[in-house]
Amino acid sequence: MSISLAILWHMHQPYYHDTLKNKFMLPWVRLHATKDYLDMLLILKNFPQVKVSFNLVPSLLKQLKEYEAGITDIFFEYSLIPAEELNEEQKAFIIENFFLANWKTMVEPFPRYKELLEKRGKIYGDPLKLSKKFTSQELRDLQTLFNLVWIDPLHRQQDLFLKELQKKGANFSEEEKKLLLEKHLELIKQIIPAYKEMALSGQIELTVSPFYHPILPLIYDNYKAKECMPLVKLPQYNFQAPEDAEAQINKAVVYFEELFGFKPQGMWPSEGAVSEEIIRLISKAGIKWTATDEEILAKSINENLRTGDKLINPSILYQPYEFEEVKIFFRDRVLSDLIGFVYSNWEPQKAVNDFLKRIRNSTNSGVVSVILDGENAWEYYENDGEEFLKKLYESLQKSKDIKTVTFSEYIQENPVTKKLKKIFPGSWIGANFSIWIGHEEDNLAWDYLYKVRKDLVSFQKENPDKNLSEAWEQIYISEGSDWNWWYGDEHYTETKDVFDEIYRHNLISVYLKTGKEPPAFLYVPISKKIREIKPEVEPKGFIYPKIDGKVTGYFEWLEAGRFNLQRIGGSMHKSESLFSYFYYGFNRQSLFLRLDPKFSIKDYTDMTIQIQIIEPKRIKIIYETMVNQLAKIFIQENETWIKKDEIDSVAFDEILEIELPFNVIEIKQEENICIFIEILKNSYLIDRAPIVGFIKIHVPPPDFDKLMWF
C-alpha cells in the first residue's frame, strides 16, 4: 500500500495597479515572474513521474497579461532611464529601493552589489544626500544588479547573455541593462503558455482562487468573525455582500477558462478561509474540491488532531471529506510550514530526508496534503530553492511507497465517504480571521469599504440603466485580502503607505467612475502613522507675503510653517514628488500656502492644482496653470459642489503662492483645517503635498502674534 502525497504551490500577488496614477506601484508581479513562476515548472519537468498542483490567483494572471500588453511598474521605468540622465529624486528612489531583496541570498553573493549596499549602509539616512555620493556607473550597476538577481539562477545558468552578465559582475553598459530588462518581459510572456502546456500533459493540475483574493467568509458577512473570535472588536458597520462573494468566485472560474481553455476542478479559497456559506457558493460554481487548514477540521469535528507536532490519529487528517457535494482536503500544517519557514536553513538533502521520514512515520495510507505559498519562501533558500526542489522531486520519483497525485486524481480514484455536518469558519492562520479584522486599522478599512459600497448600491438604484461595471470592479479589487494583511500590527512592510494609498484610491475611483465626488474620509489614511503629518517648522507669527509667484524677500515667509516634502511619505512616492517644500501661514484675514517646485517652471505647464480642505468643511480650490490667473473656490453642500467664488490672489512663477481669505472659505478663528494639495495632468494624479495624509492647521486667535512674541 502506498501513501498519496498531494502538493499544492499557491501563486498569488495582490492587484498593484493604482487607478488614479494609471500605473503599477510595486514590482512584485514582474520580479516573482522572473524569479519563481516559470522555473518552478522547469524544475518539475525534469521529473515526469512527479505530479504537483499549482494554484494561480486571477489577480496575478491578470497582471501578467497586462505586463504582456505593455504596462510596466515604477521600478521598471526607473531601471530603463540611462544613469547619466537620472534626476536627484530618481537617484534617491533607486538608492532607497533597489536593495529590496534578501541580502543574504541575493545581494551578498554578488561582490559589486554587496559593495554598493555597504556604501549606502544597511541603516541609512536621507537617500537624497546619499545619492550624491554615487557615480553614474555605480547607479547603472545598481539598476542592473537589482533586476539581475531577481531572475532565477536557473535562467541565469541556461541563458548565455544572462550567464555572461552575471560573470561580468560590474561596470555594466546601458545596452546590457536594456537587454536585461527585455529578458524580464520575455520570461513573463512564457509563463501562462507553460502552465497550460504542463496542465494538458497531465503532470500538473491547475486550480484557482476567488478573483481578487478576498477573505470570502468576511465578504459574505464580516460579523461572521465573532463565531471563531468571540472577543473580537468588530467594525462599526456590518459589511454583508453575499453577491460579491459569489461574483469573486464566478469571475475567477470564467477568467481561468478564458486563459486555459478548461474549467478548474479545484479552488484554494484565499488564505484557506472557509465557512459553510462559502462552501455552498463554491459548490454552486461547479467546483469539485477545495482545501483549507487542519485546524479547521479539528474545530469542525471538535477533536484534537495533535499532541505537539505529532498526529494522534493520522487517518483523520489524511483523507478528504465532503460538505454540500464539495470534497475538502485539509493540509498538514507541520509539513507545509517546514518547507515554507524551516528547511531554508537546512542542507537540501537533509531537509528532503526529514520531510519524507515524517510522512512515512505518520502514515502508510491515505492522502497527505501539503499546501503552501509557492513563491515567497525560495528567496530564503540557497540558489532560490533549486537544489531543495530537485532533490525533493528526485526522491519522490524514486520512491516506492510515496506516490505523488493531483487532488482531482485522488478523489477520482478514491471515493469520499466521510461527510462533515458543519464547517468551522476560519482561515489557515489560527483557524480565525484575526489578521483581517479586529484591529483598529482593519476595522476602519472595513467601514470605508462598507460606506463606499453602500453609496454605489444607492447610485445603481437611482440609475438602473447606467453601466457601472468599472465601478464594481474597483469594489471587487478593494475586497482583496492583502490590504488588511498590512493594516494592524501583525505584519510589517516598508511599503505599507503604498498599500494604504492604493486601497483608498480604489475606493475613490468608485465615485469618479460614477461621476460623483469622493467623500472626505477617503482622503484620510487608514494607517495611523501616516494620517496627520507634522511640520518640520511650526508657524511663529503672522505673515504678509506678496502673492506674485516669486521669493520676494527673505523675511516674507520666515514666520511660516514648513514641510520638507522630500522627507514625507514612503519610499515608493518620493521619486514622484515635483515639489521640495510646502509652506503655510496666516494672518488675521487669510490663510497663505506656498509650494516650491524642484525643477524648471516649464515642467509644470498644463496642470491642474487642486487644494482640498476636508475639515471643518469640504472645500476645493482649483487652479489651472494654462487657463488664467484665477482660482475657483467650491464648497460642498448636501453632497453637491457649489461654486462659491473666484479669486485672483494666486500666482505661479518661480513658486506657487495663494492667499485664501477666511471669509471667502468660511472658516473661523480657532477652527482646525485639514488640508492637502493635489497636482493632476490629463485627469491623472501625478503628485500630492503632503504625499500621504493631510496637514492640520489651527486657525489662530487675533492675538496670535502677541502670544508667539511672549
The values of phi and psi at residue 461, to 5°, are: -65, -35
Cβ burial, residue 637 (10 Å; 0-12/13-18/19+) = exposed
Question: pLDDT tens digits for 363-381?
Answer: 999 999 999 999 999 999 9
Identify the pLDDT of residue 599: 72
Answer whether 3-16+210-413 and 532-709 agree in fold. no
> Please, which pLDDT band fits residue 574 given cuts at 50, 70 and 90?
very low
Question: pLDDT tens digits for 655-670?
Answer: 889 999 998 998 888 8
Whether 104 has a pLDDT exceeding 70, the answer reads yes
Percent of the chain with pLDDT over 90: 72
Amino acid identity, position 157:
Q
Identify the pLDDT of residue 431: 97
CB 142 within 8 A of CB 98: yes
Distance CA 334, CA 349 (A): 19
Distance CA 347, CA 352 (A): 9
CB 266 within 8 A of CB 289: yes
pTM of the model: 0.85
CB 393 within 8 A of CB 243: no
- List the domain boundaries for the chain: 3-16+210-413, 440-525, 532-709
Tell me what the pLDDT averaged over the chain comes to: 92
Which grid cell is 480? Answer: 482583496
Place of cell 512663477: 653
Question: pLDDT tens digits for 37-55?
Answer: 999 999 999 999 999 999 9
CB 433 within 8 A of CB 217: yes
Mean pLDDT on 202-213: 98
Mean pLDDT on 195-202: 98
Identify the pLDDT of residue 1: 67
Identify the pLDDT of residue 452: 98
Kindly report the number of other CB atoms within 10 A of residue 233's CB atom: 12
CB 143 within 8 A of CB 137: no
Whether 512 has a pLDDT exceeding 50, the answer reads yes
Mean pLDDT on 627-654: 85
Distance CA 277, CA 300 (A): 14
Kindly report the number of other CB atoms within 10 A of residue 23's CB atom: 17
Percent of the chain with pLDDT over 70: 95
At residue 621, the 3 state secondary structure works out as: strand
Segment holding 290, helix H or strand E: strand 289-293
Identify the pLDDT of residue 577: 65
Kindly report the number of other CB atoms within 10 A of residue 671's CB atom: 14
Mean pLDDT is lowest, of 117-131, 284-298, 341-355, for: 117-131
Question: pLDDT tens digits for 479-510?
Answer: 999 999 998 877 777 788 889 999 999 999 99
Whether 629 has a pLDDT exceeding 80, the answer reads no
Mean pLDDT on 630-637: 89
> Which residues have C-beta within 8 Å of that of residue 310, sequence separation ≥ 6?
none
> Please, which pLDDT band fits residue 640 given cuts at 50, 70 and 90?
confident
Identify the pLDDT of residue 571: 39
E strand segments, 639-681: 640-647, 650-652, 656-661, 672-681
Q: What is the CATH architecture of 3-16+210-413? A: Alpha-Beta Barrel (3.20)
CB 152 within 8 A of CB 219: no
Mean pLDDT on 673-691: 82
Whether 433 has a pLDDT exceeding 80, the answer reads yes
- Mode of pairing for the β-strands spanning 656-661 and 310-311: unpaired
Mean pLDDT on 309-320: 96
Identify the CATH assignment for 532-709 out of 3.30.519, 3.40.50, 3.40.190, 2.60.40.
2.60.40
Question: pLDDT tens digits for 156-178?
Answer: 999 999 999 999 999 999 999 99
CB 199 within 8 A of CB 40: no
E strand segments, 447-537: 532-533
Identify the pLDDT of residue 708: 52
Identify the pLDDT of residue 496: 84
Mean pLDDT on 179-186: 98
CB 363 within 8 A of CB 315: yes
The values of phi and psi at residue 292, to 5°, are: -160, -160
